[in-house]
């Protein structure tokens, strides 16, 4: 009896968190503020992958992967560039954002949880950048030199934003800061 | 303050009600046919194949009784990007890894060299993009969000036996769609609250991206936390009502396939097989050679 209730709770939790994180992704993609950071290069840096990272870290890799899948689907459906109108590039890399973020986090959790969250966010973001640009090169949309440049100019700011937001959100949500902050009162 | 009415920007499911054949298709069959068409477009990289695809896609728009200008409006925002990419390809020709064999120059001026591979890349990727944009808008114009969700669930249902949670997936989509407007209102509140505290959210311009990034933090962090709190409330509400997953649930709307649906799917399958099976590269060569005679 106890076990049935347990699995149900996990199931409901996973469904709901996935749904809400997908909602945030979709919303940020539509609003004039929040989803994209205009860069001098003309290409925008994005924050849309952060829900997948947070979902993966909070609820495990299946949730992260699923949020990533819907992120990919959404970006495929709304894309206006040839790069993201290619379902291979829009969807496949995004599946792995939350998955790698979760495993990086889970692996380092014992060392220091906050640090693990930060590394998870960085790894998840890097997964997105590297896989998207890598596939872009493989499918002939981009030259390798250009891809590396974009990875550096956009990947690094994206990682910084993702790490700051993820650490702040997860730490507040799990109340990690209170435990490591010295005072336990 | 008008610019912060965020609900304005929420535009999912721009459904165009009509009674066309495309609208009346069973969403399951429509989605399958759509997927087949996307596969056909994604793997077609010749002039001839793309010409055929473009024609077929536009024909579908006419059949669906969607105004042509409406279907093409998604293409407009893509034009500057396309022009930029084309220019880029011309100035810095890419070396696709083993994708193309020998390229011969067709045009040369100063350091700019235009090979037939570059021309093909530009023409084909433009055509492909237009086809995909029109196809996806056609799907959302002719199918309501509810139909899409039910269709996806119906398609995934057979996979339930091997452990694919079809019902749960469609519930995820339903929750996501339900919460987009709610969270838009929430975001509006957060923005207004931060403005009341003296924050400035005008776009800082492309060259001050660090400032834009910093401005995002007091918006996104509360958004995530409020959403997580909402999801906690929803979890409690669902459990309180005894939700235990998809097993044994009945539904109000049932999908039933008609002969038309099978016909449409069969047509899409045959079309996709033809587009992938025929050696369009050879036909393309022949066509170019034939045109070269004039």
Of A21, A23, A47, the CB nearest to B216: A47
Over residues B251-280, mean pLDDT: 86
Position A94 scores a pLDDT of 93
Q: Do B42 and A54 count as a contact with CB atoms less than 8 A apart?
A: no
Strands (DSSP E) contained in chain A are 36-38, 44-46
Of A20, A34, A140, the CB nearest to B94: A140
Domains and CATH numbers, chain A: 2-175 (1.10.1760.20)
- Report the C-alpha gap between B250 and B102 in whole angstroms: 60
Q: Which residues of B touch A22 (CB under 8 A)?
A: 172-173, 175-176
Torsional class of B242: left (φ above 0), alpha (ψ -120 to 50), beta (otherwise): left
Task: Report yes or no on B213 lying in a domain.
Answer: no
Task: Report yes or no on B45 lying in a domain.
Answer: yes
Position A182 scores a pLDDT of 45
- Report the C-alpha gap between B163 and B149 in whole angstroms: 19
| Burial (CB count <10 Å: 0-12, 13-18, 19+), residue A167 | buried
Neighbours of A130 (CB within 10 A): 15
Task: Report yes or no on B250 lying in a domain.
Answer: no
**Biggest distance spanned by C-alpha atoms of chain B:** 77
Angle, in degrees to the nearest 10, between helices A61-78 and A50-59:
160
Q: Is B132 on the interface with A (CB under 8 A)?
A: yes
Tokens of A26: 């979709």
Task: Report yes or no on B153 lying in a domain.
Answer: no
Check: CB of residue B6 under 8 Å from CB of residue B187: yes
**A161 to chain B: closest CA residue:** B213
Check: CB of residue A64 under 8 Å from CB of residue A96: no
Whether residue B266 has pLDDT greater than 90? yes
Whether residue B92 has pLDDT greater than 80? no
Q: How far is CA B101 from CA A139, B104, B187, B276, in A?
A: 15, 10, 51, 20
- Report the C-alpha gap between B62 and B272 in whole angstroms: 20
Residue showing tokens 């249902």: B157
- B19-34 per-position pLDDT tens digit: 888 998 999 999 999 9
Looking at residue A47, the DSSP 8-state letter turns out to be -
Task: Report yes or no on B228 lying in a domain.
Answer: no
Over residues B160-167, mean pLDDT: 79
pLDDT band, very low/low/confident/very high, at B133 (cuts 50, 70, 90): confident
Q: Is B89 on the interface with A (CB under 8 A)?
A: no
Write out the residue range of the structural domain in which residue B44 sits.
18-143+258-294
Task: Report yes or no on B168 lying in a domain.
Answer: no
Q: Do B77 and A80 count as a contact with CB atoms less than 8 A apart?
A: yes
- Least confident window among A13-22, B64-73, B109-118, B251-260: B109-118
Over residues B132-153, mean pLDDT: 85
Task: Report yes or no on B68 lying in a domain.
Answer: yes
Report, as ranges of residue numbers, the positions in chain A whose pLDDT lies below 50: 1-5, 181-185
Over residues B227-238, mean pLDDT: 92
Task: Report yes or no on B246 lying in a domain.
Answer: no
Q: A157 to chain B, minimum CA–CA distance in Å?
A: 9
pTM equals 0.73
Proportion of chain B above pLDDT 90, given as a percent = 19
Q: Do A38 and B206 count as a contact with CB atoms less than 8 A apart?
A: yes
Q: Which residues of B touch A143 (CB under 8 A)?
A: 92, 94-95
Q: Which residues of B touch A159 (CB under 8 A)?
A: none
- B64-81 per-position pLDDT tens digit: 998 888 888 777 777 887
Q: Do B213 and A15 count as a contact with CB atoms less than 8 A apart?
A: no
**B132 to chain A: closest CA residue:** A85
Of A9, A38, A169, the CB nearest to B224: A169
Query: Into how many domains does chain B fold?
Result: 1
- Report the C-alpha gap between A17 and A86 in whole angstroms: 28
Whether residue B100 has pLDDT greater than 70? no
Q: Do B84 and A86 count as a contact with CB atoms less than 8 A apart?
A: no
Residue showing tokens 């034939």: B290
Residue showing tokens 């010409």: B51
- B181-208 per-position pLDDT tens digit: 888 888 888 988 888 888 776 655 666 6
- Report the C-alpha gap between A152 and A165 in whole angstroms: 20
> Using a CB cutoff of 8 Å and minimum separation of 24, what contacts does B164-167 make?
B165/B245, B165/B246, B166/B246, B167/B245, B167/B246, B167/B249
Position B29 scores a pLDDT of 92
**B94 to chain A: closest CA residue:** A143
Report the half-sphere exposure of A43 (CA within 13 A, side-chain side). Answer: 16
Q: A75 to chain B, minimum CA–CA distance in Å?
A: 12
Whether residue B283 has pLDDT greater than 80? yes
């Amino acid at each position: 009896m106890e076990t049935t209730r347990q699995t149900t709770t996990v199931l409901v939790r996973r469904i709901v968190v996935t749904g809400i994180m997908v909602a945030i992704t979709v919303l940020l993609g539509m609003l004039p503020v929040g989803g994209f950071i205009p860069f001098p290069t003309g290409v925008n840096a994005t924050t849309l992958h952060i829900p997948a990272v947070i979902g993966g870290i909070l609820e495990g890799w299946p949730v992260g992967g699923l949020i990533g899948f819907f992120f990919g689907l959404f970006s495929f459906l709304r894309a206006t560039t040839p790069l993201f109108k290619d379902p291979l590039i829009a969807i496949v890399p995004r599946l792995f954002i939350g998955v790698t973020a979760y495993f990086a986090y889970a692996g380092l959790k014992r060392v220091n949880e906050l640090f693990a969250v930060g590394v998870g966010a960085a790894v998840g973001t890097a997964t997105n950048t590297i896989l998207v640009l890598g596939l872009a090169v493989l499918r002939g949309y981009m030259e390798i030199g250009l891809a590396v440049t974009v990875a550096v100019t956009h990947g690094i700011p994206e990682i910084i934003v993702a790490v700051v937001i993820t650490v702040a959100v997860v730490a507040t949500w799990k109340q990690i800061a209170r435990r490591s902050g010295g005072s336990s009162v | 303050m008008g610019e912060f009415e965020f609900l304005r920007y929420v535009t999912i499911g721009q459904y165009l009600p009509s009674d066309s054949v495309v609208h009346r298709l069973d969403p399951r069959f429509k989605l399958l046919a759509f997927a087949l068409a996307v596969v056909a477009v994604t793997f077609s990289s010749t002039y001839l194949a793309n010409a055929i695809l473009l024609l077929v896609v536009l024909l579908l728009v006419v059949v669906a009784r969607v105004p042509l200008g409406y279907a093409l409006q998604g293409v407009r925002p893509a034009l500057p990007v396309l022009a930029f990419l084309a220019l880029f390809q011309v100035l810095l020709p890419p070396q696709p890894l083993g994708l193309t064999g020998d390229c011969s120059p067709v045009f040369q001026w100063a350091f700019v060299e235009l090979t037939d591979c570059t021309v093909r890349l530009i023409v084909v990727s433009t055509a492909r993009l237009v086809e995909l944009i029109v196809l996806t808008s056609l799907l959302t114009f002719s199918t309501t969000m509810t139909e899409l969700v039910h269709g996806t669930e119906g398609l995934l249902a057979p996979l339930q036996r091997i452990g694919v949670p079809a019902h749960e997936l469609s519930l995820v989509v339903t929750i996501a769609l339900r919460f987009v407007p709610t969270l838009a209102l929430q975001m509006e509140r957060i923005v207004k609250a931060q403005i009341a505290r003296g924050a400035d959210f005008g776009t800082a311009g492309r060259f001050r991206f660090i400032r834009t990034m910093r401005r995002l933090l007091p918006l996104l962090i509360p958004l995530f936390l409020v959403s997580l709190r909402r999801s906690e409330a929803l979890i409690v509400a669902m459990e309180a009502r005894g939700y235990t997953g998809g097993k044994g649930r009945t539904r109000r709307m049932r999908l039933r396939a008609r002969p038309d649906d099978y016909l449409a799917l069969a047509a899409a399958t045959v079309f996709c097989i033809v587009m992938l099976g025929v050696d369009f590269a050879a036909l393309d060569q022949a066509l170019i050679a034939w045109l070269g005679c004039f």
